[in-house]
Amino acid sequence: MKLSGGIALGALVLQVLGSPTAWRRQNWPDPTTGGPPRTSESCVEASLSDPKWGIYNPALVTVNGSSGGSMGDIRFLTINSASGVVANCTAYNIDLDPRGEGSRDLWHNCSIPNLQFQFNLEFLEMRLKGTWDCGNSSSLHFAANGTWETPLIQGCLDDWEAPRGQETLCIMGNSQVSSSLTSPIKIQPQLPIMPYTPSELPERCVDRSVDPEWEIDDLLYQHHYSQKNNVTKNYYDLFLNLTNISNNERVACSVTVDESKGSDASGSVPWVKCAPAVTSSNGNVSSTEVLLDKGYNIVAVRQTWNCTDGIKGIELDQYTGTGYLTSSLACGSPINLAITDKDGTVVGATSDYNCTLPATAGPTAPSRFSGYSPSPPTMPHTPYTRSCTIGSMINTTSLVLREYQIDDFSVPTPSFSLGTFSLYNPGSRDTYRLSNIRVIGSGAWQDCVPGPAGDPLPWQLATCQYLLDKANHRIGFKVSWYCDDRDPSHAVLFNATVLQELPTETCVNYYSSTTLGPTKTCRLPENAPEVVLPVSSLVWTTSAGPMLKGPTLPWV
């Protein structure tokens, strides 16, 4: 016999039903318990990374299927991989093969609210749609839908004496429904793109250069800060021994980076060429650049090299590759010293500290990392080990005001004020520094507009407004920032509003030709506690495309 759609069943497979395979279920998670308990954070992470429903023990009953009947039953257990909630989905005496206008609008309820399914016999297609939340936070609600993977029919049994007519019971294998979020953000989760590492390292340099690898067996980071006579120096020296596994060439790299110049407008830290160029024993010259970003715990290398396997027609003149190592540095305590003049008067201070890579397999074990040839594919701006999307949803309950300064200028006429503020976002772990923006203390919301000597808005921010109410000592911000680490093609835009009362300011009046005459500068007291600005509103939406700002490769 055959069911509609040409799926061969037959009563001759009765013996299959008696085998353990027909009734085998997935070992984890157990659909009767929902698996291990979920925390709010793990629920959000699963919802944004790989949301799905597991399908367990699905069974299908058709009535008079051999004569073209399409009525019957469908039943299965399901578990939400993110929330761990179990549901029983059963529908009796339904049309298993609905067609025509409105057939896609027929949904059947499961045993829990907000979960529905529909089934199409012709293609053995199951669709689920539902909503769920992730704990106590009322803002963490998700909605998704999806279609199950093609099920495997494990066996069927005919009952010719059933009251409804010939009933054919078919047992199907466990499956899953991979879902796409539709609310609160429309996102297609994407797993991180990591370098491919061969299981066996090829012998020839040419072969190894297709999937390049590097080793760092020694790294020293020396940070230097000094301030003398109102002149600030902020830079670091970086020394590392780098070995290219492709051609076994070793490079002793040293660079100096002036941090006072900051990152570029996009937020990227600079690539710095190792000096001097290194010539190996066989006469090859490598070009090597390195990048260090302590904020994102990335050490990266960009290199060109030659191979000397001696195989004509195969070797290129030059190979290129980019690789990165994700590792935080182990740093010692700063050494703070005073700078004095010949009379012993303190005129400044220095603060230096050193960092190294943490030991992994041993005190001198090299750190090996793989890369891409010639360059990495498109990647999100934030690392998967530090999800901006997940963190913004879970941890953005407040913003922290870590810098506050208001400068009031009396000339030129009319008078004006500039403000510098630093806001720390615990959700994205970014600090937004608003440098010398024009401020009005009227208590109304104003756009963050840089003043004459102000820096542009931080690259992470899409929009920014502030509120400064001098009469009532209040400050507020409305900021929106991008995250794109869950779905780089559709960045998520978060919007938060904060408002809080300020401690009493400490103000100083002085005169300086470099600050346009008489000036009053107001700051928060040095002993004032950290100003936490609670979030009164947090919303998020999905943009129509990827971020068009922010740091680029090798960020991941």
Nearest to 185 by CA among 426, 396, 546, 493: 493
Q: Which long-range contacts (CB under 8 A, 24 or more apart) does 5-12 make?
A: 5/121, 5/122, 5/123, 5/124, 7/124, 7/153, 9/65, 9/153, 9/156, 9/168, 9/170, 10/156, 11/156, 11/157, 11/158
pLDDT of residue 197: 67
pLDDT of residue 340: 86
Residue 98 dihedral angles phi and psi, to the nearest 5°? -70, 140
Q: DSSP assignment of 116-161, as one string?
A: EEEEETTTTEEEEEEEEE-SS-TT-EEEEEEEEPPP-EEEEEEETT
pLDDT of residue 413: 61
> Which parts of the chain sit beneath pLDDT 50?
1-28, 281-282, 361-363
pLDDT digits (tens, 9 = 90+) for 372-385: 888 887 778 887 77
pLDDT digits (tens, 9 = 90+) for 483-513: 988 888 889 999 999 999 998 888 888 765 5
Between CA 32 and CA 344 the distance in angstroms is 78
pLDDT of residue 448: 94
Between CA 262 and CA 43 the distance in angstroms is 37
pLDDT of residue 508: 86
Between CA 179 and CA 53 the distance in angstroms is 8
Asked if 93 and 44 touch (Cβ cutoff 8 Å), the reply is no
pLDDT of residue 230: 74
pLDDT digits (tens, 9 = 90+) for 411-457: 666 778 889 999 999 999 899 999 889 999 889 999 998 877 667 88
Segment holding 234, helix H or strand E? strand 231-244
Nearest to 121 by CA among 8, 4, 6: 4
**Direct distance between the N- and C-terminal alpha carbons of the chain, in angstroms, rounded to an integer:** 54
Nearest to 195 by CA among 217, 180, 210: 210
Asked if 407 and 387 touch (Cβ cutoff 8 Å), the reply is no
pLDDT of residue 20: 31
Between CA 9 and CA 170 the distance in angstroms is 8
CB count in 10 Å sphere of residue 26: 16
Give, as one character, the DSSP assignment of residue 16.
H
Q: DSSP assignment of 46-115, as one string?
A: HHHH--EEEEEEEEEEEESGGGT--EEEEEEEEEETTT--EEEEEEEEEESS--STTGGG--EE-SSTTE
pLDDT of residue 198: 67
Supply the pTM of this predicted model: 0.73
Exposed, middle or buried: residue 504 (CB in 10 Å: 0-12, 13-18, 19+)? Answer: exposed
* Residue indicated by tokens 């001198």: 364
